[in-house]
Homo-oligomer: A and B are copies of this chain.
Amino acid sequence: MNEPDFKSYTAAAEMLKALAHPVRLCIVRGLLQKKQCNVSYMQECLNLPQSTVSQHLQKLRSAGIVETERSGLEIKYTIADERVKQLIVLLLPKEDAIYE
């Protein structure tokens, strides 16, 4: 039988919920491209208040989608769950090329 139990569904739903926001998708896609990024850079890219960006990042972080590493004053974010790469490929229109 081996049906996914309720817990599996809940866990998967949590992950999807964390990704299910245009700003967070944008952050994640940027991280997949750039591999690593600090908050102020994202903030400029997104053109959103710092606290807003930070809150989205915390949501991604507590879902295990990204992780952090401090480097002096900055916190560098990276992708922590490789599955999101495939999710993004599946869901966002492809790029012709990715620079850098």
Chain A residues at the B interface, C-beta cutoff of 8 Å: 1-4, 6, 8-10, 12-13, 15-17, 19-26, 29, 83, 86-87, 90-93, 95-97, 99
Contacts and interface: CB of A to CB of B under 8 A. Distances in A.
A29 B97 CA distance: 34
24 contacts: A1-B99, A2-B95, A2-B96, A2-B97, A4-B29, A4-B95, A6-B22, A8-B92, A9-B22, A9-B25, A10-B22, A12-B91, A12-B92, A13-B22, A13-B25, A15-B91, A16-B19, A16-B20, A16-B91, A17-B17, A19-B20, A20-B20, A83-B90, A87-B87
A53 B28 CA distance: 32
Nearest to A97: B2
Could you tell me the dominant secondary structure of chain A's interface residues? helix
